[in-house]
Copies of this chain bind each other. A is one copy, B any other.
Amino acid sequence: MQTKIDSCEYQKLLKEYEAYKKSGLSLDMSRGKPSKAQLDLSNGLFDELTSSSCFVGTFDYRNYGALDGIPEAKKLFAELAEVGENEISVLGNSSLNIMYDTLQRAMQFGVLGQEPFNKQGKLKWLCPVPGYDRHFAITELFGFEMINIPMTAEGPDMDLVEEYVKDPTVKGIWCVPKYSNPEGIVYSDEVVRRFAALAPAAKDFRIYWDNAYMIHYVSEEVTLLNLWDEAKARHNEDIVYAFGSTSKITFAGGGVAFMIASEKNLKSLNSLMSLQTIGPNKLNQLAHVRFFKGKEGLMAQMAKHAALMQPKFEAVLTTLSENLTGFARWIEPKGGYFVSVNLENGTAKRTVQLAKEMGVIFTAAGATYPYHHDPDDSNVRIAPSLPEPDELKTAMKVFCVAAKIAYYEKHLNA
């Protein structure tokens, strides 16, 4: 970006900063939480099961059993994900929990007969950046050396991915393939095909395909090529673990999560899971199945979410466009939960700090990178879903003031 110095504007910004600081603002834009209006969309779920409901199908859903989910829930989410009903497990309330447990199993017991990761010495993991902080936190906890893979407008830099997987100590990659966290990028067909054809040196390498926003469009429903079909066509489906949930369709923490994998992978994982639990909450699965009835019901629900999210994203993008054009770069996401802004290098932390001083919390700068370290100190993730629209506008104005002050500080001090 070309440096733009305007000392008059800087003085004006400092006055705005002081004014916001005194205004007693207290807003939180840090996490991708659904708003009350979004949660209200699913209140009908509570009316699906009452004391006079029928609870008996394949078995009594109030009793033990169904380790990997009830058949009706498998059918619903298999239809949604366009996979076979024998290629899915429908489990508890959190896809993050499934990912963690799956990786912990690989650490402790190994993948399909390979040595446990715990016994293989220092291992590596590929992390498209910017990405999801909770993914990186898991691989950091398990001691992986995390390797940054830059994101392009098409998805992760596949030349780099293909190069790195030649190293047998590289054991996996985190992907959010659709409306990615935080940039809202949808992986291109070419990127999906290159993932499907990936031939890692490590037999126990897995793509952790976290399709968290699979139907979470905001302005436009974009089609993501089905990795599952592409991988199967190449007899390469064993390298894929895919995940999803209704955390941002129904209730966050009160939804249903699932995992997609080959029958071979699922057989091995379920056999270990059978020692951990007798089964998931089948009643919550049943309520979801009865509430949505089928894929159409899910899509109708997402249209309502989009209607609530769209003006919020627009408010963010308009404010950015009006205030930070020439100062920062961002992608206009067509879906997901975030807007990702790349500020002038070296100013992200300072921007978040200044915004905090004005009473608005943004996701910590660096959070979108492994080890919380953004080498450029440039990226800030904005989560528009939770605040009310007027709060959002205020918060974004604060963000822009903060970003520009940080920009001027850098260049005036240079």
Contacts and interface: CB of A to CB of B under 8 A. Distances in A.
A268 to B, nearest CB: 13
Copies in the complex: 2
A100 B277 CA distance: 8
A252 B142 CA distance: 33
Main SS class of interface, A: loop
A370 to B, nearest CB: 14
A64 B276 contact: no
Given A251-B283, A254-B283, A34 B63 contact: yes
A254 B275 contact: no
A43 B55 CA distance: 10
A137 interface: yes
Contact of A64 (B31, B51, B65): B31
A47 B39 contact: no
A282 B275 CA distance: 25
29 contacts: A33-B63, A33-B64, A36-B60, A39-B60, A39-B62, A39-B63, A46-B50, A46-B51, A50-B50, A61-B254, A62-B252, A64-B253, A92-B92, A92-B93, A96-B276, A100-B275, A100-B276, A104-B104, A104-B108, A108-B118, A138-B275, A138-B276, A252-B278, A253-B279, A253-B280, A253-B283, A254-B281, A254-B284, A284-B284
A96 B278 contact: yes
A277 B96 contact: yes
Contacts of A107: 108
A347 interface: no
A263 interface: no
A253 B65 contact: yes
A46 B43 contact: no
A7 interface: no
A61 B42 CA distance: 13
A53 interface: yes
B141 A252 contact: no
A101 interface: yes
Contacts of A315: none
Contacts of A141: 272, 275
Contacts of A89: none
A209 to B, nearest CB: 19
Given A46-B51, A51-B47, A254-B282, A94 B277 contact: yes
A66 interface: yes
B62 A51 contact: no
A80 interface: no
B281 A253 contact: yes
A275 B93 CA distance: 15
Contacts of A65: 253
A308 interface: no
Interface in A82-107: 92-94, 96-97, 100-101, 104, 107
Interface in A114-151: 118, 134, 137-138, 141-142
A80 B73 CA distance: 34
Interface in A24-63: 31, 33-34, 36, 39, 42-44, 46-47, 49-53, 55, 60-63
Contacts of A134: 275, 278
A277 B33 CA distance: 15
A281 B49 contact: no
Query: Top 8 A-B pairs ranked by shortest CB distance?
Result: A43-B51, A254-B283, A64-B252, A100-B276, A39-B62, A62-B251, A97-B277, A93-B281
Contacts of A247: 64
Given A277-B100, A282-B254, A49 B51 contact: no
